[in-house]
Structure 1
Amino acid sequence: MHAISWDQLCRSREEGGVGMRPLHAVRKAAGVKMAWRFMKGGSLWAEWMANRYLRRINFWACRIDNNFSVTFKAILRCRPVLKIAICRNMKDGMTTDLWLDPWLGSRSLLEILGGQLDREADRGLTCSRIIRDGIWRPEGYPYTAQLAEEIRLITIDDSQHEDSWSWVGPGSGGGSGLFCFRSCNDMVRTHHDRTEEVDFIWDKGIARKMQLCAYRLLRGRLMTRD
């Protein structure tokens, strides 16, 4: 397949490629997976990393420091991708930072309202401050009417043990909430326009060798004496 560019081969079949995964996308997806495992916690490794680098600092607000390990720097750099692929499941708000955690879609309350936390009293507040008896009570905070309504639409699940994160990336495991590497890889790779010119050759009833031969033929890359 050397006669066809690597960029072309790494496109999805719907985009005219063969669906190979570019190494830079795999590397980034692996970093997001590591960040997801760290954020979810529940392992000795995640607990040690949190105690070593975060302590009282919120994961989403932590700045990259030169003294951090290469691994933890990679985890922090993956936060922008991680944000748009996760969802906060609310129970009582006790473990969700009111200002810094991205519990409003892929955004934190601080990002929506802008500015910085100037008052010391605002630091460390959890969403339990605006949840009473299983109902959102956002009164008393600087929300717009639209934002307050958006907050009230967030489901509170009393059946959970505590607040938790779910993976909601595109095509993620049938809505199971579990991390899906394929979904993550699809998020970080470069996308191209869809094409239908080679769709028919990927029929499951055709041998793989014949599929690749037909693909090269359609691309004008089949080696001949001409």
Structure 2
Amino acid sequence: MIAKFWWGSKNGEKRIHWVKWDSLCDSKNEGGMGFRSFKAFNDALLAKQGWRLCQFPNSLLARVLKARYYPRQHFTHASIGHCPSFTWRSIHQAGWIVKRGSFWRVGSGSEVNIWIDNWLPLQHGHKVWSPKPQDCVATHVYDLIDRSVNDWNRGLVENYFLPFEADQVLQIPVINLQAGDKFTWAETANGQFSVGSAYHCIRSWEKLEAKGASAEEVASRATKELAEYKCQLMQLREGDRPAPSQSSPRVWSPPPLGFFKLNVDAAGTGCVWGLGVVIKDEGGNVVGARCRRESRAWSPEMAEVAGLVMRVQLARDNGFWSFNAEADCQSAILKVQAKGVCSAYVDLLVQELQCMVPLFSSISFSHVFREANNVAHHLAKHALVSHDELWLGCTPPCIQSFIASDVILRTN
């Protein structure tokens, strides 16, 4: 009907359809008109209902369907069952979209099966490719974690996985073993399902499979196209993001009487990050500092939030109960100030930080420009060539000149 409308008709006379409808549904960048494929869009809408069954397991519909069709397993492993209802048949036929585009964010690891579930965030398909060793007794991700040190059991991981997968596993942060595992949509920045991202996934997968591409080519092309889509989406939303406030300080200023000021920064790229924390009193004197090197595949935002957690822990362990915390990464500050959390790994750090906040008499988090955070920035850079160092009641030699610069700028 829509194709007839597009190509035109008169008195019931059919016109020639010069291009097939599927080609018109391609994006304009690919030579199409950007029309919606009704089948793909309908599948995306049905996939959203499946996603809601995973995210809201206590809803009435989720409890009814689970009791009837998948009482002892997750939605992504459910079968069609015997004499299914039209509702379940419809949702189930779109379940492959949820399964293919999602992965588990590891908390405790108790709900995630190592060999069946999707849980490697950087891998195409998010599933383990390594064959299960015959002598392997580990079934869940929980079995790979050394709970005495709150980190991965490196020996087990390197023994069970191929080298490239072992590296991926070891880069996944183990933050809070009390936190539950979270089912996460891989194709959006906040880990939440959206019909738009699901639609683009379906179109990418369908086109590549129709061309007879290999699984690796399908995964590579889909990843590239989805990355482009995310960039376009971020550009469209850029106007909705709060710009750095012009009132944010550009020069370091001392805290009020009786308070301390904590400055933090992260420096590095890729898999190595340096974290630096500096605590000063109302006179601008350094009363504590710490730097630490982390070999983790973190995003800049996650590294900054990790630095916030480290400085709050430093304040707690040394009795600084009233302080103002400053950082030059606005997205990290907004994460800490936000009441809601999403499914990204960074939010496990935010939850840990928020749990410590009630312990303090007074605590605040604010954004400053890099010029007002210069001391912490250079301490973070020092951490890249150093180890975990702690200074109490003295000034780290590597930042003395930058502290003097802060004093000069403040007095001018």
Amino acid in the other structure paired with 2:174: I
Work out whether 1:151 is the aligned partner of 2:156.
no
Letter paired with 2:40: A
Q: State the alpha-carbon separation in 2 of the partners of residues 87 and 140 from structure 1.
A: 22
The count of corresponding residues between Structure 1 and Structure 2 is: 183
Distance in 2 between residues matched to 1:33 and 1:160, nearest whole Å: 28
The answer as to whether partners of 1:167 and 1:179 remain within 8 angstroms in 2 is yes
- Does residue 93 (structure 1) correspond to residue 93 (structure 2)? The answer is no
Letter paired with 2:109: G
Distance across 1 between alignment mates of 2:115 and 2:89: 23
Separation in structure 1 between the aligned mates of residue 160 and residue 177 of structure 2, nearest angstrom: 28
Give the AA of the match of 1:144: F
Q: CA RMSD in A?
A: 3.4
Within 5 Å, give how 1:9-20 maps onto structure 2.
9-20=24-35
- Whether the aligned pair in 2 keeps the contact of 1:60 and 1:100 (CA below 8 Å) is no
Match in the other structure for 1:177:
191
CA distance in 1, matches of 2:93, 2:130: 21
How far apart, in 2, do the equivalents of 1:167 and 1:82 lie? Answer: 8
Larger Rg: 2
Contact 1:58 1:100 in 2 (8 A): no
Q: Take 1:83 and 1:60, find their aligned partners in 2: how far apart are those partners? A: 6
Q: Which moved more, 1:11-20 or 1:179-188?
A: 11-20
Q: Is the 8 A contact 1:89 1:163 kept in 2?
A: yes
CA distance in 1 between counterparts of 2:106 and 2:86 reads 32
Shift in alpha-carbon separation, 1:22–1:145, aligned structure 2, 3 A: closer
Normalised TM-score (structure 1): 0.65
Unaligned runs of 5+ in 2: 1-5, 9-16, 209-224, 226-412
> Would you say 1:57 and 2:62 are equivalent positions?
no
Moved more, 6-15 or 179-188: 6-15
Partner of 2:81: helix, strand, or coil? coil
Matched with 1:81 is 97
Identify which range, 13-22 or 96-105, moves more after superposition. 96-105
Separation (CA, whole Å) in 1 of partners of 2:201 and 2:178: 29
Identity of aligned residues (%): 24
In the alignment, structure 1 residue 129 sits paired with structure 2 residue 143: yes
Larger mean Cα displacement after TM superposition, 178-187 or 54-63? 54-63
Distance 1:108 1:187, change over 3 A: closer
Query: What residue identity is the alignment partner of 2:47?
Result: V
Instruction: State the SS of the aligned residue for 2:36.
Output: coil
**Residues 144, 91 of structure 1: CA spacing in aligned structure 2 closer, same or farther, 3 A cutoff?**
closer
Structure with greater strand percent: 2
Change (3 A) 1:77 1:48: same
